[in-house]
Amino acid sequence: MYSINAHAKVNIFLKVTGHKNGYHTLLSRFMRVEDLYDTITFEPCECESFMIEGCNDIPLESNTIYKAYKALNAHTGDLDILNFFYRHKVIVTKRIPSQAGLGGGSSDAAAFMRLVKNVCNLLLSTEELAKISATIGADLPFFIYNYPSANVSGFGEVVEPFIEEPLKLELYTPHIGCNTGLVYKTFKEHFLSNVRLSSIVGWDQLTSREILEKIHDPAVLNDLYKAALMAYPELSKAAKKEWYFSGSGSTFFKIKN
């Protein structure tokens, strides 16, 4: 068996910087959550087609791991990938909540790609793998590079490592699933015109601890927070004072005492 952990992330801050070609651009600090991860395992199996276990509620065509498999095949044309998955199935041990702003699906797909690169000896650089992953989802390049902390910008494809002391984080995820597409659509309709880039100058140079100790309002740190509250009013009841909001939701986080 071959196995790899797929860690969750939080967005220390997330600022939308514009909208282009139907997609939002952003500037965000991503931080890996060390103690929360899914596990991706390749287990020997005689398979007639690509097989995934552990994601039963997600149709195969919509599964980010399957999309990653298709993208790798299309880019490389490497028969070793096809042959490997006739002899192995993918097992996903889920621990990261879905639709929670923690990047679970993206992390799973990126970890899958990193593991396939190793087991099939693909002659791809990390940069090439990140470019392929960006065609699947905006969060994937961060997980491909696997930095503990990074400034992420553009459509998610620009990932710059940020050297800092890792934070121990406490997470709280209410039983509310937030659809990323709906949250961004709500943001575009109601909040995009209010974007002011001057308000975030220098944020990418501050440590995550400095940012969280300086700014206590989750709506200031995360442009998607108000849009998520509008799309999912029940989040207001779940919110806790002085907890921050990750991605498009629904997870709240803070530094552990």
Q: Which residues are catalytic?
A: 9, 139
The three-state secondary structure class of 245 is: strand
- Residue 138's φ and ψ, nearest 5 degrees, are -70, -30
Number of Cα atoms under 13 Å in the Cβ half of residue 92: 29
Instruction: Give the ranges where the chain is alpha helix by DSSP (H).
Output: 64-76, 79-84, 104-119, 126-134, 140-145, 180-190, 208-214, 218-221, 224-231, 235-238
Q: 197 — phi, psi (to 5°)?
A: -70, -25
What is the distance between the alpha carbons of residues 94 and 125, in angstroms, rounded to a whole number? 28
